[in-house]
Amino acid sequence: MDDDSIDLCPVVEEVAAPKTGTGALSPGMAEPPQKSIVRVAHTINPQVFNTEMHKQWHHQVSAPPAPRVSHVLGFNKRAAEDRADPEAKRPLGGSLVPTATPLPEEEDPILASTENIPEAHRPRLNPASPVVFQHPASAKDYQGRSWLQAATIVKRSGRCILPTHRTWADDKAHPGGVQCLRWLRPEGRPLLLSGGVDGVVRLWHMAGAYAERRVDPVMSYQGHHRGLRDVQGSASTGRMFTASYDRFVREWDIETGRVVRSYTTGAVPMCLTLEQNGEGPLLLVGGGDHTITKWDTRSPQGSAVHQYKGHTGTVNAVLYVEGGRRIVSCADDKTLRMFDAAGPTQVKVVTDPDMHSLVCLKAHPYQPSFLAQSMDNQILTYSCKGGRLRLETDRMTYKGHIVSGFGVEAAYSCDGKYISSGDAEGKMYVWDQSSYTIVKKWKAHDSGAVLLSHAWFPGLTSTIVTGSWDGSIRLWQ
């Protein structure tokens, strides 16, 4: 594993709490049966782990026993059994095996990325049990349907019209900031997924007439102990995938809130993409280990089908193009790469000395092209045909906004007529796709709050939802 992917590893240890005295507990000392056990959480950097830290690590705490599931991290007693066969955890030639872990009902033990910690002290992460909170008073409507079945698809109302005013806002949607916004597929279903820095995913339902249109909370899902990076979901399959900075991707049952399984390669998952416009069973995960892993979600255990290599920096975005036959990815190595979806074969590499890092890729709704958000404060568009990538905006670019240093998302309108993007000052920009000119911009969020994510609603084409690091979600029409 690369040095830049090494993070501070939380270590949770069970130590014996004596009834009296303050003497140190020796690492090799057996636990007296009459003493209570308490959990003590530490944070250890594996690169600086030494003997002196080991001496300070074992200390004595006098406290009542803690509840088993009240801590985000817990001690997994099966760690010794899992380490008995280390060779079974290293396929694909990696330092840590990409594995999908089915989740038991009570606990979710997953192997942490702690390769550099001594074997005797290698911990196991046990994130808190997933918590689901249902906001409406009843889970059924007057016809006895669930809220997922009752959310009918709104048919597209014609060409896109630029929004003129704000109709709804929730300034406390995600304390700490909104990381991503995604409309639940298939397109036109008025259900919105939002992922926050607080590690919570919320499901919203857009309701009400045009003048009083609002977005009501439906469900809240909490199964990560760090902030979210990306979220994808489909109402037809009833599944949702969440990627977090805790290095795990979780698969959820949207309606019940149950975690089906978890996926991990030991690196931070930066982006998620499902094939067939979000309806397919194959999941692409771009990671901080410079690779892209394809998972088959149909198998009971969840197997890693392919691992695409070639990037030398963190993968920021992954996209299916050419009807799912090709995969396009961008990374911090300032390159754009195309792979064959059927196998880990690199087809094309786009690089240039003047090229900057790309942080976002979005496909055109009708044409064989896509846009890329560049860190030099401009948006580029590429055409992709027959395994070839061609820069369309070689002379004219979409610029005027400030996104340098932030992973701000850009997007096409539903009819492909407009290109939109937020910026670091909380503003929203909309360009005409053919003339490269700014046709509208407005102050969507407070100054200094990065407008990181936004999404056009496919059903009502004049509707945009925006999310910012000030923790607010706002609806514009």
More confident residue, 40 or 419: 419
Q: Cis before residue 186, ω within 30 degrees of 0?
A: yes
Q: Is the pLDDT of residue 95 over 90?
A: no
Q: What is the pLDDT of residues 99-122, one digit of tens each?
A: 454 444 333 333 333 344 344 333
Find the range with the poorest average confidence among 207-216, 282-291, 370-379: 207-216
Quick one: pLDDT at residue 264? 92
pLDDT-above-90 percentage for the chain: 46
Structure-token pair, residue 3 = 């040095």
Q: What is the pLDDT of residues 409-465, one digit of tens each?
A: 999 998 899 999 999 999 999 999 999 999 999 999 988 899 999 999 887 778 899
Short-list 204, 201, 199, CA closest to 215: 204
Mean pLDDT, residues 41-70: 38
Quick one: pLDDT at residue 300? 76
CA distances from 162 to 177, 182, 230, 340, 413 (A): 26, 19, 27, 37, 10
Interstrand relation of 473-476 and 166-170 (parallel, antiparallel or unpaired): antiparallel
Quick one: pLDDT at residue 218? 86
Quick one: pLDDT at residue 10? 43
More confident residue, 124 or 320: 320
Quick one: pLDDT at residue 332? 95
Find the range with the poorest average confidence among 92-101, 314-323, 410-419: 92-101
Instruction: Give the mean pLDDT of the chain.
Output: 75
Mean pLDDT, residues 47-60: 41
Mean pLDDT, residues 260-280: 88
Quick one: pLDDT at residue 298? 87
Find the range with the poorest average confidence among 154-168, 190-204, 257-271, 313-327: 154-168
Short-list 336, 408, 418, 334, CA closest to 378: 408
The superfamily in CATH containing domain 131-476 is: YVTN repeat-like/Quinoprotein amine dehydrogenase (2.130.10.10)
Q: Is the pLDDT of residue 466 over 60?
A: yes
Q: Report the alpha-carbon distance of residue 285 to residue 277 in Å, rounded.
A: 15
Q: Where residue 397 falls among pLDDT bands split at 50, 70, 90?
A: confident
Q: Is the pLDDT of residue 396 over 90?
A: no
Quick one: pLDDT at residue 462? 84
Q: What is the pLDDT of residues 126-143, one digit of tens each?
A: 444 677 777 765 566 667
Quick one: pLDDT at residue 446? 87
Q: Report the alpha-carbon distance of residue 220 to residue 200 in Å, rounded.
A: 7
Q: Is 132 exposed, middle or buried (0-12, 13-18, 19+ CB in 10 A)?
A: middle
Quick one: pLDDT at residue 157? 59
Q: Where residue 184 falls among pLDDT bands split at 50, 70, 90?
A: confident
Give just the sign of the alpha carbon dihedral 148, 129, 314, 445. positive
Q: Where residue 158 falls among pLDDT bands split at 50, 70, 90?
A: low
Q: Report the alpha-carbon distance of residue 118 to residue 54 in Å, rounded.
A: 11
Q: Report the alpha-carbon distance of residue 296 to residue 303 in Å, rounded.
A: 5
More confident residue, 456 or 207: 456
pTM for the full model?
0.73
Q: Where residue 232 falls among pLDDT bands split at 50, 70, 90?
A: very high
What is the residue extent of each domain of the chain?
A: 3-121, 131-476
Contact 334, 357 (CB under 8 A): yes
Quick one: pLDDT at residue 49? 39
Q: Is the pLDDT of residue 73 over 90?
A: no
Q: Is 56 helix (H, G, I), strand (E, B) or coil?
A: helix
Q: Is the pLDDT of residue 59 over 50?
A: no
Quick one: pLDDT at residue 146? 72
Q: Is the pLDDT of residue 393 over 80?
A: no
Mean pLDDT, residues 272-300: 88
